[in-house]
Structure 1
Amino acid sequence: MDIDPSRSSRRILIVTDAWRPQINGVVRTLESLAAQLRSWGHEVSFLTPEPFWTVPVPTYPEIRLSLVSRRTVFHFMARTRAHHIHIATEGPLGLLARRYCLERDKAFTTSFHTRFPEYASARLPVPEEWSYGYLRWFHDPAAATMVPTLSLRDELLAHDFSHLTLWGRGVDGNRFRPGPKTMFTDLAGPHLLYVGRVSAEKNVTAFLDLDVPGSKIVVGDGPDRAHLERAHPDARFVGYLHGEALAAAYRSADVVVFPSRTDTFGNVVTEALASGTPVAAYPVTGPRDILTDQRAGTVSEDLAVAVRRSLTLRREDARALGEQFTWSASALQFLSALVPATLQQRRLTKAG
């Protein structure tokens, strides 16, 4: 649907359990989306864990769950008088926002960002299908569930999800841009870079175990960092980087390696491409949707083969592909999927 993003100002409420100080793709996506929407004159408000007491998720302390009452959430949502309600996550805030909409017969949309079934089964003896059952129940009353890639849409359809619509991602091409190499100059080349959480579900070990020439650099932190540093003393772990330091790290790498098999998109991939750095990844959801031009990156079940090939690619071609991902295009897709909160959907009143 063709829409003029600035035709009329909308009040949009986004509910998310993922928020600062977390550093992840969900938070970056929502912040970038809001900035684009506000630049068009829309009023975007957030219901986040920020004002509430939180507790850490067992085995995953970086993620914290809000301790919040039904009364508080319902009062906040009523006070916003939002034209559109979007529930981004399936945690405590998302659950209460969903309940508010169903009890008030408010139409809403949701989005699918994270493979919690796979993450949960890696830590706990919980069958993936049990978790997918919960997620189906959560998203089913939504007028639309937004997904970042066509591959993920097909996967969720196979798990019996419905009313799925595409909401792609963008990248800040001014912040992440080609330029001279200014970091890692004391390390032997080529420079192979991983950016992201250092945790089991990110499959960082597959990167560190690669038998390829060069230096391996890990930007990020997480529960697996300490033991991976001990197991791989030749790799350099630099922790989280932000702003210009992160952009410089991308520019200073010869290849960005994305070893995850469980991400739903992979903002790291588009940030690398925008920086003019080719990417090596497995042919899974996210990378195979982004790396559609083999001149910009390589997907292969043999990650070492992907790295070696990507080292031969031109940085100009990586940048050209990265320029295709914009936050304006992403925000337009988001706007087109929203529904008026006042839309009366009879099936919503029958959902649990």
Structure 2
Amino acid sequence: MESSRSFQTKPEPAKVVSETRGNSIRRLTLVSDAWQPQVNGVVTTLNHLVKELTAQGVEVDVIQPQPYPCFPLPTYPEIRLVRRAPALEERLLNFRPDAIHIATEGTLGWAVRKLALKHGLPFTSGYHTKYPEYIHKRFPWIPESWVYKFLKRFHSPAQRTLVPGESIQQELQGKGFKDLRLMSRGVDTDLFNPERRSDLGLPRPIMLYVGRVAPEKNLREFLDLDLPGSKLIVGKGPELDVLQNAYPEAVFVGAKRGEELAKYYASADVFVFPSKTDTFGVVNLEAIASGTPVAAFPVTGPKDILKEGVNGCLNEDLGVAITQALKLDREPIAESIPEFRWPHAAKQFLQNLAPIKK
């Protein structure tokens, strides 16, 4: 091991080299409690980010749950939390990263946060999920303010916390979060594009939802609407069986990936995003890239993506948003989001990292 690139057992506090930020990153430790085989926006974002960084010559060590003993997250058994991570400290130090990014606030995130502080290593963090709202929806006796206080404590030592859009940035600043920076998202237009449109054999208009079938996604507000056509649900989650029984007229097809998922996006007449608690919503980008307009509430996430009357419609009445979106011209939709590309998102990410002086 080259001593010039090694960490000492008790190093001097590392300094952030802001003038070389981004350009100096060749080895990155990326920490995430959410990883494959989970299917959600966080995993999609991080997988594309790693792919883009690798293409740019950055070696990425992804510290994620699979190698370690885990336990299921209550109410979300498919999400696994690490119980203990043997040799995690050695793994972090021996990799000799140029930067550390802690993407999630789970048990792995807290473990690496503790190690970074112990060794005086600067790090950045990511804010992907509105846990306060999610937790309060499941456990109403837990105030959102308590969870936000917990999250502020997690992110406060980070040099910067990366957020996906301006609306969530402003919202968190209003709650006292500091040093927030934007890292946008992208979409794979080779996979998601209008050319995959085909006949799904369902009565039109086809109103599509893609995502977790879970309480915080507010699916009931969509499924309760009295609208002609077909309601098509792609995804799985803790509410799947309950909603299938409650709404037998809706079509539930489970989780889909790759070209099959892309076909559903392109073949729908409108994409419905009923969530009021997402920080962004990568699925909106995938729908738009597929030439399908989006109907959503005017909330954090959709507000940062949709161009009203061009690629979607926002309205406090979701039924009105759907009706208006169905009237839009599909022709220009797929080309309406040139700013959402992964090379641009990766550039933002690299520029906002906190390089470790060695």
TM > 0.5 fold call? yes
In the alignment, what sits opposite 1:45? 61
SS of structure 2 residue aligned to 1:171: coil
Structure 1 vs Structure 2 CA RMSD: 1.7
SS of structure 1 residue aligned to 2:154: helix
CA shift digits 1:77-118 (9 cap, x unpaired): 011100000000111110011011111110000010011111
Structure-2 change in CA distance of 1:3 and 1:102 (3 Å): closer
Counterpart contact for 1:193–1:256, Cα < 8 Å: yes
Q: Say whether 1:105 aligns with 2:120.
A: yes
1:56-205 → structure 2 map (5 Å cutoff): 56-69=72-85, 72-124=87-139, 125-179=141-195, 181-185=197-201, 187-205=202-220
In the alignment, what sits opposite 1:314? 329
Structure-2 change in CA distance of 1:312 and 1:59 (3 Å): same
Select the residue among 309, 330, 338 that pairs with 1:323: 338
Q: Which AA in structure 2 matches 1:288?
A: K
Give the deviation of 1:9 after TM superposition: 5.8
Query: How far apart, in 1, do the equivalents of 2:67 and 2:200 lie?
Result: 39
Counterpart contact for 1:36–1:327, Cα < 8 Å: yes
Query: How far apart, in 2, do the equivalents of 1:340 and 1:16 lie?
Result: 19
Structure 2 gap ranges (5+): 1-17
CA shift digits 1:212-255 (9 cap, x unpaired): 22110000011111111111111100000111000000011000
Counterpart contact for 2:233–2:250, Cα < 8 Å: yes
Query: How far apart, in 1, do the equivalents of 2:196 and 2:187 lie?
Result: 20
SS of structure 2 residue aligned to 1:260: coil
Query: How far apart, in 2, do the equivalents of 1:4 and 1:171 lie?
Result: 25
Query: How far apart, in 2, do the equivalents of 1:330 and 1:114 lie?
Result: 18
Runs of 4 or more consecutive aligned structure 1 residues displaced over 6 Å after TM superposition: 1-5
Q: Say whether 1:212 aligns with 2:238.
A: no
Query: How far apart, in 2, do the equivalents of 1:63 and 1:180 lie?
Result: 31
Q: Which AA in structure 2 matches 1:42?
A: V
Structure-2 change in CA distance of 1:245 and 1:2 (3 Å): farther
SS of structure 2 residue aligned to 1:65: strand
Give the deviation of 1:3 after TM superposition: 9.0
CA shift digits 1:155-212 (9 cap, x unpaired): 1011110000001100001110012532422x11011100000010001111111122
Give the deviation of 1:2 after TM superposition: 11
Query: How far apart, in 2, do the equivalents of 1:252 and 1:262 lie?
Result: 26
SS of structure 2 residue aligned to 1:216: strand
CA shift digits 1:23-59 (9 cap, x unpaired): 1111110110011111111111100001011111111
Query: How far apart, in 1, do the equivalents of 2:196 and 2:121 lie?
Result: 51
Higher relative contact order (CA 8 A, sep 6+): 2
Structure-2 change in CA distance of 1:129 and 1:57 (3 Å): same
Structure 1 gap ranges (5+): 344-352
Structure-2 change in CA distance of 1:299 and 1:202 (3 Å): same
Q: Which AA in structure 2 matches 1:168?
A: S
Select the residue among 241, 249, 264 that pairs with 1:249: 264
Give me the identity figure in percent: 47
In the alignment, what sits opposite 1:275? 290
Select the residue among 333, 336, 344 that pairs with 2:351: 336
